């Protein structure tokens, strides 16, 4: 029986440990770590948050607190300690020596989840690159046995069955992965350029993990993307075409979910994926309105978007999970704010109209009566835009069409009155 199967049948009991220095909301962060641990396959049973002016350089929480934690570990049969901070190699070794169980930090846990979730070749390369960069920076002594085979949380890797601890080997592997990633980024950039050349508009769905991005994409386009009530249910970007009420087509792109204090290795590794947002014509910032910290989640998303240089791109705030709100709560909306339920497919009509309003005006829907002497114009409209209906009348062809902006001056003399 494989280690992975054993792990699924007997998930390791875990204690979650944090230090509250006032730098961030430790309580909220540990709640998120609890969900991350469950997503990775652990069974969190206890939490420990210690208020300190700063982390202890040797053991993070101090030897006295570690000895208290050790008693709790033994009484609850805990086999895994997860720290809600980034530990140094020496801290990890010192803590393991005292607790005598496996110790991992927040970054290692998130990298492990990404290793489980990445499905495409590009996603797997990005995860392995981030893992190797992190491990290279944390090679020291014994501590975490970086060369041991997988089977436990924090030891999985999407590409290699064995991780060499030799720094030269890891650097060589990093160079190889960067080369492979550069090739996939080049292909992605070619696709972007082709999309722009063909005049295809794009909207990127961004937001906190588990906000409902994949559920929204599925509901709007029947994309068939995995959508679970778990953090990072899907990592790989998915693109699908969608027709708007004004007749224009748009490419909807689902991007990787974000969390607080996303490890910088992952921001770097997944930049090519996240840059779909930087190259989009419109950003849909999806926010889980049912959570108490929805505002903070939106701020996390905006911080990452700022790092990617997306500040000048039009943005719509899409408040999701409205079906979970109490009936007496009223959320105000405007031209750039929409309230929806992706799960129940409510509010979609207003969302689509809002997307159309905020996209660049590349084409307009027109009703035209074109004389038979100008049939070449109909052909040009069809080539550059889209014709929804045609009716042959004595005085000419009556069409309902999406007319490209650069052809508006040619069609202006033939505009027909709207039907009563």
Task: Look at residue 64 and tell me whether its pLDDT is greater than 80.
Answer: yes
Domain 1-194 has CATH 3.50.50.60: no
pLDDT above 90: percentage of residues in the chain? 27
Question: Which of these ranges, 6-10, 48-52, 191-195, 339-343, has the smallest mean pLDDT?
Answer: 6-10
Question: Which of 334, 341, 274 is closest to 304 using CA atoms?
Answer: 274
* Cβ–Cβ < 8 Å for 377, 409: no
* Architecture field, domain 363-414: 2-Layer Sandwich (3.30)
pLDDT value at residue 143: 38
Task: Look at residue 220 and tell me whether its pLDDT is greater than 60.
Answer: yes
Measured CA to CA in angstroms, residue 40 lies from 53, 86, 228, 309 at distances of: 30, 17, 14, 31
Helix (H, G, I), strand (E, B) or coil at 115: helix
pLDDT value at residue 404: 80
* Architecture field, domain 200-358: 3-Layer(aba) Sandwich (3.40)
Q: What are phi and psi of 239, to 5 degrees?
A: -120, 135
Task: Look at residue 330 and tell me whether its pLDDT is greater than 80.
Answer: no
Measured CA to CA in angstroms, residue 73 lies from 11, 58, 284, 325 at distances of: 15, 20, 44, 39
Which part of the chain has CATH 3.40.50.300?
200-358
Which part of the chain has CATH 3.40.50.11060?
1-194
Judging by beta carbons within 10 Å of its beta carbon (0-12, 13-18, 19+), is residue 215 exposed, middle or buried?
Answer: buried
| Burial profile 101-133: b = 16 or more Cβ within 10 angstroms, e = fewer | bbbbbbbbbbbbbbbbbbeeebbbbbbbbbbbb
Beta bridge partners of 221: none
Give the pLDDT band of residue 163 (cuts 50, 70, 90). Answer: very low
Question: Which of these ranges, 77-81, 322-326, 327-331, 389-393, has the smallest mean pLDDT?
Answer: 327-331
Give the pLDDT band of residue 176 (cuts 50, 70, 90). Answer: very high
pLDDT value at residue 114: 80
Residue with tokens 């709100």: 325
Write the pLDDT tens digit of every residue in 376-411.
998 888 887 788 889 999 999 998 888 887 788 888
pLDDT value at residue 265: 67
pLDDT value at residue 189: 73
Judging by beta carbons within 10 Å of its beta carbon (0-12, 13-18, 19+), is residue 192 exposed, middle or buried?
Answer: middle
CA dihedral 134, 136, 142, 146 (to 10 degrees): 70
Helix (H, G, I), strand (E, B) or coil at 182: helix
Helical residues (DSSP H) of 334-386, grouped into ranges: 348-358, 375-384
Calculate helix-pair angle for 167-197, 121-137, nearest 10 degrees. 140
Which part of the chain has CATH 3.30.70?
363-414
- Strand (E) or helix (H) holding 303: helix 294-307
Write the pLDDT tens digit of every residue in 80-97.
999 999 898 889 999 999
Helical residues (DSSP H) of 87-245, grouped into ranges: 89-99, 106-117, 121-137, 167-197, 213-221
């Amino acid at each position: 029986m494989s280690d992975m199967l054993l792990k699924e049948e007997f998930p390791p009991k875990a204690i979650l440990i944090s230090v509250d220095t006032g730098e961030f909301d430790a309580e909220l962060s540990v709640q998120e770590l609890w969900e991350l641990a469950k997503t990775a396959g652990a069974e969190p049973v206890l939490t420990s948050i210690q208020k300190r002016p700063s982390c202890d350089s040797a053991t993070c929480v101090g030897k006295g607190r570690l000895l208290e934690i050790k008693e709790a570990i033994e009484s609850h049969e805990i086999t895994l300690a997860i720290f809600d901070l980034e530990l140094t190699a020496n801290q990890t070794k010192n803590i393991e020596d005292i607790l005598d169980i496996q110790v991992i930090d927040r970054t290692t846990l998130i990298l492990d989840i990404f290793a489980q979730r990445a499905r495409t070749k590009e996603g797997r390369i990005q995860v392995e690159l981030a893992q190797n960069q992190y491990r290279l920076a944390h090679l020291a002594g014994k501590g975490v046995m970086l060369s041991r085979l997988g089977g436990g949380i924090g030891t999985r890797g999407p590409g290699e069955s064995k991780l060499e601890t030799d720094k030269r080997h890891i650097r060589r592997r990093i160079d190889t992965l960067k080369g492979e990633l550069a090739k996939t980024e080049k292909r992605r950039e070619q696709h972007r350029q082709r999309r722009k050349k063909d005049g295809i508009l794009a909207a990127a769905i961004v937001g906190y993990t588990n906000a409902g991005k994949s559920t929204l994409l599925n509901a709007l386009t029947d994309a068939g993307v995995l959508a679970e009530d778990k953090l990072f249910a899907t990592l790989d970007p998915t693109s699908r075409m969608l027709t708007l009420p004004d007749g224009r087509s748009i490419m909807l792109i689902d991007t990787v979910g974000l969390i607080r204090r996303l490890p910088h290795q992952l921001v770097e590794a997944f930049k090519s994926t996240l840059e779909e947002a930087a190259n989009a014509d419109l950003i849909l910032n999806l926010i889980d309105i049912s959570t108490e910290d929805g505002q903070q989640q939106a701020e996390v998303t905006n911080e990452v978007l700022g790092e990617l240089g997306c500040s000048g791109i039009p943005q719509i705030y899409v408040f999701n999970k409205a079906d979970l709100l109490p009936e007496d709560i009223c959320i105000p909306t405007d031209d750039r704010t929409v309230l929806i339920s992706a799960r129940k497919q409510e509010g979609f009509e207003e969302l689509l109209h809002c997307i159309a309003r905020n996209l660049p005006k590349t084409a307009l829907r027109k009703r035209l009566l074109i004389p038979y002497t100008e049939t070449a114009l109909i052909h040009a409209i069809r080539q550059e835009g889209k014709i929804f209906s045609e009716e042959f009348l004595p005085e000419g062809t009556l069409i309902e069409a999406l007319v490209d902006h650069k052809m508006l001056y040619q069609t202006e003399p033939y505009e027909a009155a709207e039907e009563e």
